Chain A
Amino acid sequence: MIKEGVQGAAAVAEEDPQAQSKKAQKKQQKEAEKAAKKAEKQAKLAGDQKTEEEDDFAKDRYGVAAMVQSQEKMDRSLVLVKDLSPARADELIWLRARVHTSRAKGKQCFLVLRQQQFNVQALVAVGDRASKQMVKFAANISKESIVDVEASVRKVDQKIESCSQQDVELHIERIFVISQAEARLPLQLEDAVRPEGEGDEEGRATVNQDTRLDNRVIDLRTTTSQAIFRLQSGVCQLFRDTLNKKGFVEIQTPKIISAASEGGANVFTVSYFKTSAYLAQSPQLYKQMCICADFDKVFCVGPVFRAEDSNTHRHLTEFVGLDIEMAFNYHYHEVIDSITDTMVQIFKGLRDNFQTEIQTVNKQFPSEPFKFLEPTLRLEYKEGLAMLREAGVEMGDEEDLSTPNEKLLGRLVKEKYDTDFYVLDKYPLAVRPFYTMPDPNDPKNSNSYDMFMRGEEILSGAQRIHDAQLLTERAMYHQIDLEKIKAYIDSFRFGAPPHGGGGIGLERVCMLYLGLHNVRQTSMFPRDPKRLTP
């Protein structure tokens, strides 16, 4: 074969022997030179490596630490990233954080270390503390790995704009990997926090909702998610604090129930030994029973289930309900005042204590700050109708508000009163459930109210009928099977104080407060008709 090839080449060469041979010669020469160079290089490299390995003075200053199995209890205090400030300048500290990004540049490697929503720039540079190999090792740590770092805190002259700790950086002296992340991440954190629209312009990626939800653990690490769920925790905390101060008692209600508690919404059926049971779609019945049991003012925080097959931006099949029920003295506006004041306290608490979280979320999802009035604006349903009619909407007196009309009314109210939160009072009796107390002055109206945030309904409540006789009448009027609600009606037979209440959805309140557009963003592990995992 080779011979043939050579012969072939010779045959070709015969045609123009001189030129061809010259070319071939040159080629051969060049190739030989190349090979020699390569070999030389390799040898040199190997030698270098050998020498480097031999004199890697920083060998015990980096590496992958043994898996923490609680072998020893170290007496080492770790500093939090958020506490790093110029006040700690030149201190030698230990800290544990995730590698957010790393960027190697010649003899140094820049890392951004992240702890929750805080991050700081760190630097490994070849010097008397770090060797070349150490820099290389640091540069190769995969993103999202958890590392322990010993470093000295240094002030910087120029603010580091990309980090939350802008005035200091860390000069790493030791670095150990505690938990390594896989090199391929299902989504990049920087993509996940990129504002909508911005990615399209620059040809950069954004992460779609389903990818986020499928990889929720990573998505929750983003600054935006961290801020959202910290704020959500704040809402819960403020809700509890405010109501405790007002003398409310927190109660726990069962979630497996025997009958549908509220008309309208569908319930999930679960098998219950030899029969079936339902998942509670509202703790209302139990709240009311607690009122009848003389707890006076109660609230509960717990999951609520709705088997509604609606795939909208604001419906979930399981969400956290914050429910209030209270006895009042003479007028159900006492209840409205209590609920609205609770909401206002929550809004004020968020405004005053969660400004950084709000700003963080706004960076990715810009929205106008949430505005409210204290005391809360209360309009009557009729007024709402009149405002809508003035704007050209044709609606009957006893018709319920459609979602677009709700939004429009929200805009009109905002235009006039500049508030994102208001109460619409005195709904027509026809559009409310049977247990709603009718208005004594107008049989077509009822003592019921809805509350709105940014034009979306967040709470629906009413004065409940606390008289068994009237309740039976109303149930019959609505053609409800009395047998099925016997237990409910019976709870009012032995004396019941006048009472009212309502409930809000935690996820929806957070979404609307932050001006987000999907309730899945404010639900940690959302459940909707199409999603049951993670």
Chain B
Amino acid sequence: MASDPMSVNSSAREPPAPPGSGADEPKYGGYTRFELELEFVQALGNPLYLNHLASRKLLSNPAFIAYLDYLQYWSRPPYLKYITYPGPTLKNLELLQQEKFRQDIISPDLVERLRVEGMKAGIDWHRESFPSTA
């Protein structure tokens, strides 16, 4: 992904500068590191994507785990406000810090349940917040 070689050291970097900071960021394939990492961290909200990553054995790669740890800067300002899928993104980012979840997400049953419940919750929490209009 956006961290170049798969070495543990590659995760010890500073988070990229948010847009508008004026710094002239180097581009990777036309995208800044900020853009790529924002896209990636949001893709983590998709259970199927997590399963894909697990099937590629990335979730047991120490460098990748370190990268996941590094990605937690998205849960803090000023980066937080750029996440447009806040619920699943932050939840999965949190879950991915757990060893057990990283192992279990390979199971299709778990993925399916996460998918179904996530989609249901995405609709139901609106119903619960406005019961009178539902």
A, B: real partners: no
A-side interface residues toward B, CB under 8 Å?
Answer: none
Residues of B within 8 A of A (CB): none
